Amino acid sequence: MNRQPLLHAARARLCRGAGLSFIFTLPLFAGMASASCPGADAAALGWLNRMSHSLHEISYNGVVTLQRGGDMQVMQVSHAVDGDSSSERMTRLTGQGAQVERRDHPLHCVHPGHRLLQVGAGLQAGECGIADHYRFKVEEGERVAGRKAVRILIQPLDMYRFGYVMELDRETGLLLKTQTMGRGDKVLEQFQFASLSYQAQEPASAEVNLVHQARHPHPATAVAASLAVPWQVNWVPGGFTATDAPSGNAARRSYTDGLAVFSVFLEELGRDIRPGEGVVRSGGTTSYTRGMDLTGQAVLITVIGEVPVNTARMVADSVAWTN
């Protein structure tokens, strides 16, 4: 699963320069934020707000590495802004070549994950938002892909999520490097730019065996129903919100807290399944599968995302048919 999360939802107009204007207004409410929200380091949240905007509003291309334990993947990425829309392409340069493209993504579409990071107005209104669940700190960063960076330390305030160390471009706010941190400050995975250019043109595409055109339906559009009975997830960690509005019969639910993303899948089985669970972990991504009986119906529940195993287990345990 990609470190950049692949995110979703709600229409709101983005304005160029909004991240910078937020930085300039930070001193006006920094004291209030720190008093009412212990984790709300105003400078850190201002950088996250700027990062959220930069991911959409800046054209760039480069080569990134994704390290998970002993496995390393190398990918070529590009993001081009043209008028009111953007296009993206990601090509895997190692292993079996594969490419994902997304064309004509409207800039006015703000996914929930990005919206949760744009916390300026909320802090001024006394709402802590993401700072209810993480503690933030700004430090001097390192040089990544030849760019000077500012480091954001992000520590979870509960056991339901991971921590992060992010390096943001001091000039643009673009995310240059991120580490997902597990218990004991163990680095679970690391994503970073090896080379970066702020240019609109896309680099020449590498030879690939598979090309996928990513779809982007509006989040308010229900996913096609595929189950006979509607179901629901009765518990998710605080701060997580749904990324879309599927029908009760849709086979998938997705959630984000602005930094982490996970999805829940439910499959009805035609025969009984032995109760039990299976776990596969790859870096900061957990895949948790559990066979269980829901009031006489055998089902297979799968939770996939950037959360600890115990979180995935608790989410799966909360799945039930809608009364």
Q: Are 265 and 153 found together in one domain?
A: no
Q: Are 107 and 205 found together in one domain?
A: yes
Q: Are 104 and 196 found together in one domain?
A: yes
Non-local (6+) Cβ contacts of 15 within 8 A are: none
Q: Are 90 and 199 found together in one domain?
A: yes
From 213, 248, 278, the end of a domain falls on 213
Domain total for the chain? 2
Q: Are 41 and 180 found together in one domain?
A: yes
| Tens digits of residue pLDDT in 55-65 | 778 899 999 99
What's the pLDDT at 284?
93
CB of 77 closer than 8 Å to CB of 64: yes
173 assigned to some structural domain: yes
Q: Are 131 and 245 found together in one domain?
A: no
Q: Pick from 241, 218, 204, 19: which is nearest to 105 by CA?
A: 218
What's the pLDDT at 113?
62
CATH number of the domain to which 315 belongs: 3.30.200.100
Q: Are 189 and 258 found together in one domain?
A: no
6 assigned to some structural domain: no
What's the pLDDT at 18?
32
Q: Pick from 116, 141, 149: which is nearest to 48 by CA?
A: 116
**Cα–Cα distance, 60 to 5 (Å, whole number):** 17
Long-range contacts of 280-284 (CB under 8 A, 24+ apart): 281/309, 282/1, 282/68, 282/69, 282/71, 283/66, 283/67, 283/68, 283/69, 283/180, 283/188, 283/189, 284/3, 284/68, 284/162, 284/180, 284/182, 284/188, 284/189
8 assigned to some structural domain: no
Beta strands across the sheet bearing 297-305: 241-242, 252-256, 261-268, 297-305, 285-294, 276-282
Q: Are 112 and 236 found together in one domain?
A: no
What's the pLDDT at 216?
57
29 assigned to some structural domain: yes
3 assigned to some structural domain: no
Mean pLDDT by 10 residues, the chain (323 residues): 32 29 33 56 85 84 91 90 83 82 71 62 65 91 96 95 97 95 94 90 59 56 63 94 81 91 90 80 94 88 96 96 85
CATH number of the domain to which 70 belongs: 2.50.20.10
Q: Are 198 and 79 found together in one domain?
A: yes
Q: Structural domain of residue 24, as residue ranges?
A: 18-213
What's the pLDDT at 200?
64
